[in-house]
A = this chain, B = another copy of it.
């Protein structure tokens, strides 16, 4: 479970396989990966960073795929519902899933210096949060787990 994002890696491959996975999942679950949705996923995938909805919209608009906010928000709704993207609550921004296909509980490491984001996985049933929940009888449906700090590269720079 290495967090993807900070390490050097074959990113072209990363993009390709994620898109393939997304298509496979859509086929299996009868979801429609329309041109707008597919392009939105590609845009998010371009970098391991979170993009604001309006940043995404700007790109889509420049490509003639729609100009009004609902274009972006609908695409993001689809992608997040399908598990192809996640919302980073701490940034009000969105990022492509780095473990598409794997059933996972995402956790994010967000570099405040270079803005890159790595997605790790945690196990919902373990960890301190789950423990606190069990202790008090709380039933967890969804978790938001985000760490803000400095990635290895930015620590070296400082």
Contacts and interface: CB of A to CB of B under 8 A. Distances in A.
A118 B147 contact: no
Contacts of A145: 129, 143-146
A150 B141 CA distance: 8
Interface string A89-125: 1100000000000000001010110000010111100
Contact of A140 (B7, B142, B149): B149
A12 interface: no
Contact of A137 (B90, B121, B146, B155): B155
A139 B123 CA distance: 21
Contact of A132 (B107, B111, B138, B148): B107
A140 B146 CA distance: 10
Contact of A138 (B6, B133, B135): B6
